[in-house]
Amino acid sequence: MISSESNPQIKELVKLQKNARQRRKSKCFVTEGIKLTREAASYGKLQKIYIGEHLYRQEWSAKMEQEVSEEFAGALVEIVSQHILEQISETVTPQGILGVVKMPEYTLEEILSDEKAVFLLLDALRDPGNLGTILRTSEGAGMSGVILSRESVDVFNPKVVRSTMGAIFRVPFVYVENLSQTIEKMKGKGISVYGTMMEGSECYDQVDYRKPSGIVIGNEANGISWEVSESLTGRIRIPMGGSLESLNAAVAAAVVMYEAARQRRG
């Protein structure tokens, strides 16, 4: 059992939880909770699991560690003291298990290979909760992939990972250096790209998403950047009642994505 904060594995876990640069360097991230860690195992991405002593005694104490490992697709198993578990967990009430997971990786070419699809593009989205919710909703709405500007929040941030509820393993995503250039590339492939903007000239449900399409959601505070807006095929708006000017980014994304899904079902 690991019971020391100075253990090199524990130090590495803390870095993976708190430092995006360390995650990129190691190409690994952390999952918390039994369900999400099992999801990582089912997709062949789980490398190692850390189980708190309380959970281990309650759930697996009658089994050998080899059996527990096999339950998580052969991942290495480490038991940690409850004190250490609380140190390495990002949640207020840890479920008792963390996984070290290999990052899924995609290329823009792979994501754009389905030219009849609908894609979501995120322009400098900064809130982890918004990004996690958007990835989860993207799966539900049948998006073919999510394209993020390099300025957007790290998809492997612990809060993002938890918010995706496993969609992080199922929805293809990629970061691009220049979103405007990516949009131009998409348009060159016959994909129309629409941005949600307050001054949009078309209502969001008047666009034909049955054709190859991209939907851009902007930064929570500043919306879509000028450079990206200049590349768009069109600007769309979500009508607001009352005194509201706009919706939360994740809500706005959901509204438009499900309109696209509705049209494609029809």
Pick the CATH number of 108-265 from 3.20.20.100, 3.30.429.10, 3.40.1280.10, 3.40.140.10: 3.40.1280.10
DSSP 166-214: TGGGTS-EEEES-HHHHHHHHHHTT-EEEEE-TT-SEEGGGS-TTSSEE
Report strand pairing: 28-32 vs 97-102.
antiparallel
The architecture (CATH level 2) of 8-102 comes to: 2-Layer Sandwich (3.30)
Sign of CA dihedral 158, 164, 166, 167: negative
**How much is the pLDDT for 64?**
74
* Residue ranges for the chain with pLDDT beneath 70: 200
**How much is the pLDDT for 67?**
83
Contact (CB, 8 A) for 97 and 39: no
**How much is the pLDDT for 93?**
83
Summarize pLDDT for 24-63 with one digit per residue, the tens: 999 999 999 999 999 999 998 899 999 999 998 888 877 7
| Domain assignments of the chain as residue spans, ordered by start | 8-102, 108-265
**How much is the pLDDT for 240?**
85
Summarize pLDDT for 55-91 with one digit per residue, the tens: 988 888 777 778 888 888 889 999 999 999 999 999 8
**H-state helical runs in the chain:** 8-18, 20-26, 34-42, 53-55, 65-71, 82-88, 108-111, 128-141, 158-164, 179-188, 226-229, 249-265
Contact (CB, 8 A) for 234 and 207: yes
Task: Tell me the pTM.
Answer: 0.93
Give the integer Cα–Cα distance in Å for 163 and 184. 31
Contact (CB, 8 A) for 135 and 173: yes
